[in-house]
């Protein structure tokens, strides 16, 4: 796919890099130097939209002739956002809380092209149901998966059979970048325009 405008992913996430690469687009990575809003009491849709825009705007301000893609993902349960755990003890507590329950994963996506004044923002949600499990499964899971760099302390695509009962909606959204929505935005003349 030709991309006359350079595409930049404003994210340090290896999962977002992997997902964007699956769309067959050439892109560079520039990590935004921003402090994300992570107050668990904030409406998760507002929080992920804010953080995605914050990252995209920061990078677009430094690369005005490029198309910049920013994204942010969080897990939502019992009226609060569950972000990345601070340590393994918090990861264990999060996994205990999610056990046997259904939660929502929200991702905000922001696309910017500063020179053209382009600003596109969207959000996607998916449902994930966890199997009921105890501490033995949690210990097994955290030895196999890096839980510290993931919202909700889990990865939908790693060791799924240990903890995931099922999901509804976009699988790639749960990973951190809703590919369907992202592809639609990027291929509707955004990169060509």
What distances in angstroms separate CA 125 from CA 44, 105, 144, one per listed residue? 10, 5, 26
| Structural element, H or E, at residue 119 | strand 118-130
Query: Contact, 27 vs 7, CB < 8 A?
Result: yes
Query: Contact, 126 vs 158, CB < 8 A?
Result: no
- Residue 38, burial from CB neighbour count under 10 angstroms (0-12, 13-18, 19+): middle
| Structural element, H or E, at residue 11 | none
Of 72, 121, 140, 189, catalytic: 72
Nearest-angstrom CA–CA distance, 163 and 161: 6
Q: How far is CA 179 from the centre of its chain?
A: 11
> Rounded to the nearest 5°, which phi and psi values hold at 48?
-70, -35
Active site residue 135: no
Nearest-angstrom CA–CA distance, 94 and 79: 14
Catalytic sites, residue numbers: 72
């Amino acid at each position: 796919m030709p991309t006359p405008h350079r595409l930049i992913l404003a994210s340090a996430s290896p999962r977002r890099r992997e997902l964007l690469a699956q769309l067959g687009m050439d892109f560079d990575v520039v990590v935004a130097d921003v402090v994300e809003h992570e107050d668990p009491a904030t409406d998760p849709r507002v929080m992920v939209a804010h953080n995605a825009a914050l990252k995209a705007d920061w990078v677009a301000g430094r690369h005005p002739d490029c198309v910049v893609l920013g994204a942010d993902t969080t897990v939502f349960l019992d009226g609060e956002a569950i972000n990345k755990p601070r340590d393994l003890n918090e990861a264990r507590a999060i996994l205990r809380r999610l056990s046997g329950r259904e939660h929502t994963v929200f991702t905000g996506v922001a696309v910017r092209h500063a020179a053209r004044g382009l600003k596109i923002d969207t959000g996607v949600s998916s449902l994930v149901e966890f199997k009921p499990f105890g501490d033995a499964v949690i210990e097994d899971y955290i030895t196999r998966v890096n839980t510290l760099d993931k919202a909700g302390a889990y990865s939908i695509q790693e060791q799924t059979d240990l903890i995931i009962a099922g999901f509804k909606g976009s699988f790639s959204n749960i990973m951190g970048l809703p590919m369907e929505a992202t592809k639609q935005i990027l291929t509707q003349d955004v990169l060509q325009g």
